[in-house]
Amino acid sequence: MREFIFGCTNFPKPYNTISLCTEEDDDSVKVNVSDAFFKKIYKNFNDLRSKCQLCDTVLIVENRRLSAHKVVLAAAIPYFNGMFTCHMIEEKLTEISLPYMQYDVVEKLVNFVYTGELAITTNNVQSLMMGASFFQLMQVVKECSRFLVQRLHHTNCLSIYEFFKLMGAPKWAITKAVSHVIKYFLVVSRDEEFLKTPLETILDLLSYDGLYVDSEEDVFLVAINWLEADESRHGDAAKVLSRLRLPLLRPCFLADMAEHPILKNDPECQKQIELVREAMLHPERRKLLPPHLSVERTCYNVPSMIVVLGGLMPAEGSKSSVEIFEPSEKMWKAVKEMVTLRSRIGVAVHKRQVYTIGGFDGQDRLTVVEVFDYDTSTWFSLPPLKHKRSALGAAFLEKKLYVCGGYDGIESLRSVEVYDLEQGYWKDGVDMYKQRSAAGVAVLHGELYVCGGHDGFQVSNSVEKYNPILDKWIPIPGMKVERARLGAATYKGKLYVAGGFNGNEFLRSVEVYDPRTGSWSFVESMKMKRSRVALVANVDGLYAIGGFDGSTNLCSVEKYDVEKDTWTIEPSMATHEGGVGVGMIPIPPHLLS
Question: Is residue 575's pLDDT more than 90?
Answer: no
Q: What is the pLDDT of residue 302?
A: 86
Helix (H) or strand (E) run with residue 125 in it: helix 125-135
Residue 191 predicted with pLDDT over 50: yes
Q: What pLDDT was estimated at residue 432?
A: 98
Q: Is 434 inside any structural domain?
A: yes
Write out the residue range of the structural domain in which residue 97 sits: 37-169
Q: Are residues 209 and 125 in the same domain?
A: no
Among candidate residues 255, 347, 264, the one with its CA nearest the CA of residue 582: 347
308 part of a folded domain: yes
* Inter-residue contact 369 to 385 (CB < 8 Å): yes
Q: CATH number, domain at 259? A: 1.25.40.420
312, part of any domain? yes
Residue 57 shares a structural domain with residue 140? yes
Chain centroid to CA 574: 30
In-domain check, residue 387: yes
Core vs surface per residue 459-481: b (16+ CB within 10 A) or e: bbbbbbbbebeeeebeebebbeb
Of 452 and 341, the structure prediction assigns the larger pLDDT to: 452
Listed ranges 316-320, 502-506, 588-592; the one with the highest mean pLDDT: 502-506
Among the candidates 294, 317, 344, a domain finishes at: 294
Q: What is the per-residue pLDDT across 474-493, written as a single tens digit (0 to 9) for each?
A: 999 999 999 999 999 999 99
Confidence of residue 4 (pLDDT cuts 50, 70, 90): very low
pLDDT of residue 2: 42
Looking at 134, 169, 204, which one is the last position of a domain? Answer: 169
The predicted model gives 95-105 an average pLDDT of 92
Read off the CATH number of the domain in which 584 is found.
Answer: 2.120.10.80
Rounded to whole angstroms, the Cα distance separating 226 from 368 reads 46
Residue 141 has pLDDT above 70, yes or no: yes
Q: Are residues 555 and 501 in the same domain?
A: yes
**What does the CA dihedral 218, 221, 226, 228 come to, rounded to 10 degrees?**
-170
Whether residue 214 is contained in a domain is answered as yes
DSSP code of residue 360: B
Rounded to an integer, the average pLDDT of 69-81 is: 91
Number of domains in the chain: 3
- Domain membership of residue 2 (yes or no) is no
Structural domain includes residue 268: yes
User: Counting beta carbons within 10 angstroms of the beta carbon of residue 84, is it exposed (0 to 12), middle (13 to 18) or buried (19 or more)?
Assistant: buried
Average pLDDT over residues 113-127: 93
Q: What is the number of other CB atoms lying within 10 angstroms of the CB of residue 109?
A: 20
Residues 285 and 310 occupy one common structural domain:
no
| pLDDT cut 70: percent of the chain above it | 93
Per residue in 167-185, pLDDT (tens digit) is 999 999 999 999 999 999 9
pLDDT by residue (tens digit) across 229-256?
A: 999 999 999 999 999 999 999 999 999 9
Which are the contacts of 365, defined by CB distance < 8 A and separation ≥ 6?
A: 358, 359, 388, 389, 390, 406, 407, 408, 409
Q: Of 294, 325, 343, which one is at a domain's C-terminal end?
A: 294
User: What is the pLDDT, as a whole number, of residue 18?
Assistant: 66
Same domain, 416 and 560: yes
CATH number at residue 112: 3.30.710.10
In a domain, 178, yes or no: no
Q: What was the pLDDT predicted at 7?
A: 47
- Spell out the alpha helix ranges (H) of 136-184: 138-149, 157-167, 171-183
3-class DSSP state of 145: helix
